[in-house]
Structure 1
Amino acid sequence: MATTALTLAGLFLSMLVVCEDVCCMYGYHRGLGYPWAWLDSYTTTDNVAAIDAIRSDPAALEKSVDWSKVVLDGLFWWHVALLVVVPAMQARRRSHLSARDRSA
């Protein structure tokens, strides 16, 4: 349960990481997510001034979800959650065993 909660928290908090690319002077890509940007926006324009205008209001862009990257990000955050949960559970188990030994 804790692993699942931490995995989902990591997945959604990773959307605070923004990756922006201006390609070929007239293309703009914006991705949200870490380590792989899985919520993508992309557009092309005729000039750099239009790219600057789009960059000032990226929420207006249409977004698409890359489900393969969602799965990869989920696996990444699941492993990070395991690195937190497993040592915590081992420490809890050791404390319960030492408490039981002291009471016996």
Structure 2
Amino acid sequence: MSKQHNQSNAIFLWTVRRPRMFRTVVDDMCRALVNLRLRRQHEIEVGKDWIERAKEADVGGEEENDNALDRINYGRFCQGLERLDNACLQLDETLMVLKDF
């Protein structure tokens, strides 16, 4: 036997319990969705100062951030939130498809 076909390290799969596999996949995806939402909440808590600055700039009519570095950091903050939102939406759509079909 070659090293790739070593029986002591091989896993033989004879049957697959579809309901159990489906439930495991859905549970893992639900857990991932909860983790994404928790991460988004955490990012908002960390970036409260950026949100407050943007609100003050809207009310005051000033530039939303004072210097270029602040604008770059605010852009990264918004981009990170947008990525988390997109990931949540994609995962939610996948869960909907799995549960409906």
The alignment's TM-score, normalised by the length of structure 1, stands at: 0.34
Question: Which structure: larger Rg?
Answer: 2
Structure with greater proportional helix content: 2
Relative contact order higher in (CA < 8 Å, ≥ 6 apart): 2
